[in-house]
Amino acid sequence: MARFDVTDAEWALIEPLVPVAATGPLPRRVRDQFNGILWRFRTGSGWR
């Protein structure tokens, strides 16, 4: 886990609120994607 990644306790609170499609394969790295989104907000980098 990197310095600003979501901790296990924080992820336990967030995970039930993350929308996942009822059909199709589940995303394997939802937590990594969530950490990436937080990194973008924290650094102020622009969206493509």
With a cut of 80, say whether residue 47 has pLDDT above it.
no
pTM of the model: 0.69
Question: Domain map of the chain by residue range?
Answer: 1-15+29-39
Backbone angles phi, psi at 37, to 5 degrees: -65, -45
Q: Which two tokens stand for residue 7?
A: 């901790």
Confidence of residue 26 (pLDDT cuts 50, 70, 90): low
| Torsion sign (Cα): 32, 37, 38, 43 | positive
- Give the mean pLDDT of 8-30: 81
The answer for residues whose C-beta is within 8 angstroms of residue 48's C-beta and 6 or more apart is none
Q: Is 16 helix (H, G, I), strand (E, B) or coil?
A: helix
